[in-house]
């Protein structure tokens, strides 16, 4: 860029000569404004992606009944950890890491320890995820994707949202039997639930037709030996 | 004529006054060159790198906020340039993940070293720069040679002020060990 012959000159002379000769040009102000705006847009997109994923994880955990099984003790927790959508969780963590790297460039982040900005992003992701999951957004997208056979959304929502687990059975009570009750799963399948004195009922028993429940227990054919049953207010659509 | 501040001069450069940029180079050439030589351990291309710093400063001058101080801004450009130069040569990360950046530390007070102690530390630092890793060498140079305060160093390195305090404290301990190796 700068002439080799001018090697003997001072830095000041060489730089000024290059500026005056037009070899070095000042970037216009709009270049930096545009970069800042694109940066903010990028950060917002990342944050929305994190919120979407966090809320989707909560949505599918509720829909599949996995969300409710830790209440049944260590066995419930074990099942819960096995059933977590680790791929989506890792993807969310990767997005959080990218967003963290991104915000570290700004003074509000780098002036404080990294722990604070990481915790802030995690807090936003979790609280925001719960807020979004409490809206009918994912249920609507799921229904819309089903009805219109959307190419990406349908398989995505089906793969995670319709995942069945051997020991977790969410459903609606259809009738009460002598030693338990019957339920109908979201897919329309009828299951007989056997409740014994050892069955854990953290929110109490007294099931009636129309109740929504999550049954935790091993299934043999169409009968589930209930290790635990928990009433839920409603099933995710 | 009243003496203009660096920020006022930078404002004139932003408006297209090239001669004013000459004034800024005049103000910082020696300082940045000293910083380069000490941080890069007298590399033969120090002058070229410093020249690149001023070229980048001119190219990006419109991104400088004239309400802020000019010196941390130009030192930040220099820091980036020098760290990249070290990375290019060594092919290893100069600063990998640093737990000091992750966890909070109590806010460190500016050192209470006496003038004599400061002078002695500065002398030891000058003689044993290569014995101290870049992570601790850089804040020590900025503090003892460039005479910048913790806040300015934090802005240049883009790290919390408390981390600057931690690095300087550890750097000083290394220097004291070098001063009396048998303690």
Residue A200, judged by CB atoms within 10 A of its CB (0-12, 13-18, 19+), counts as: middle
A180 has which bridge partners?
Answer: A177, A194
Q: Does A20 touch chain B (CB under 8 A)?
A: yes
Work out the average pLDDT over A177-195: 92
What pLDDT was estimated at residue A7? 54
Residues in chain B with pLDDT values less than 50: 1
Please give the Cα distance from A151 to A124 (Å, whole number).
Answer: 30
| pLDDT at position A6 over 60 | no
Query: Cβ contact (<8 Å) for B104 and A115?
Result: yes
Tokens of A133: 């999951």
SS3 content of chain A, % helix, strand, coil (to 5): 55, 15, 25
Q: Are B29 and B50 in contact (CB under 8 A)?
A: yes
| pLDDT at position A131 over 70 | yes
Q: Decide if the complex's ipTM is over 0.90.
A: no
Please give the Cα distance from A236 to A219 (Å, whole number).
Answer: 22
Please give the Cα distance from A183 to A176 (Å, whole number).
Answer: 9
Work out the average pLDDT over A62-70: 93
Facing B51 at nearest CB: one of A11, A104, A114: A11
DSSP A133: H
Query: CA nearest B50 in A: which residue?
Result: A11
Query: What is the Cβ-side half-sphere exposure of residue A223, based on CA atoms within 13 angstroms?
Result: 7
Strands A223-232 and A212-220: antiparallel
Q: Which residues of B13-51 are buried (b: 16+ CB within 10 A; e: fewer)?
A: bbeeeeebbbbbbeebbebbbebbbbbbeebeebbebbb
What pLDDT was estimated at residue A126? 96
Q: For residue B129, give the nearest of B34, B31, B30 by alpha carbon.
A: B34
A231 has which bridge partners?
Answer: A213
Query: Cβ contact (<8 Å) for B102 and A115?
Result: yes
Cβ contacts of A97 on chain B, cutoff 8 Å: none
The per-residue pLDDT for range B70-106, each reduced to its tens digit, is: 999 999 999 999 999 988 877 666 556 778 888 888 7
């Amino acid at each position: 860029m700068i002439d080799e012959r001018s090697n003997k000159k001072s830095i000041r002379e060489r730089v000024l000569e290059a500026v005056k000769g037009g070899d070095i040009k000042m970037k216009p102000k709009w270049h930096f404004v545009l970069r800042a705006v694109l940066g903010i847009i990028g950060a917002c997109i990342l944050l929305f992606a994190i919120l979407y994923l966090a809320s989707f994880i909560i949505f599918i955990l509720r829909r599949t009944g996995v969300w409710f099984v830790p209440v049944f003790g260590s066995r419930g927790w074990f099942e819960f950890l096995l059933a977590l959508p680790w791929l989506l969780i890792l993807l969310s963590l990767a997005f959080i890491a990218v967003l963290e790297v991104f915000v570290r460039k700004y003074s509000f982040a780098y002036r404080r320890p990294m722990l604070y900005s990481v915790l802030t992003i995690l807090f936003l992701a979790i609280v925001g995820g719960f807020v979004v999951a409490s809206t009918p957004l994912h249920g609507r997208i799921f229904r819309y994707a089903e009805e219109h056979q959307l190419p990406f959304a349908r398989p995505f929502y089906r793969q995670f949202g319709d995942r069945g687990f051997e020991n977790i059975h969410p459903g609606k009570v259809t009738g009460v039997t002598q030693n338990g009750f019957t339920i109908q799963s979201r897919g329309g399948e009828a299951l007989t639930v056997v409740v014994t004195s050892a069955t854990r009922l953290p929110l109490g028993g007294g099931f009636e037709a129309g109740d929504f429940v999550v049954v935790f227990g091993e299934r043999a054919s169409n009968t589930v030996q209930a290790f635990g049953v928990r009433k839920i207010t409603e099933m995710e659509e | 004529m009243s003496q203009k501040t660096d920020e006022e001069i930078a404002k004139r450069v932003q408006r297209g006054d090239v001669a004013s940029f000459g004034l800024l180079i005049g103000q910082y050439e020696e300082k940045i060159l000293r910083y380069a030589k000490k941080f890069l351990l007298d590399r033969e291309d120090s002058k070229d790198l410093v020249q690149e710093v001023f070229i980048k400063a001119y190219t990006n001058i419109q991104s400088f906020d004239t309400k802020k101080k000019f010196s941390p801004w130009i030192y930040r450009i220099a820091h980036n340039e020098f760290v990249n130069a070290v990375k290019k040569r060594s092919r290893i990360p100069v600063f990998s993940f640093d737990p000091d950046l992750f966890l909070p530390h109590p806010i460190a007070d500016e050192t209470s070293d006496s003038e004599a102690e400061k002078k002695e530390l500065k002398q030891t630092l000058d003689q044993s720069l290569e014995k101290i890793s870049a992570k601790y060498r850089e804040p020590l140079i900025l503090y003892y040679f460039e005479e910048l305060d913790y806040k300015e160093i934090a802005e240049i390195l883009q790290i919390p002020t408390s981390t600057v305090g931690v690095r300087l404290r550890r750097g000083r301990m290394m220097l004291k060990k070098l001063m009396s190796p048998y303690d």
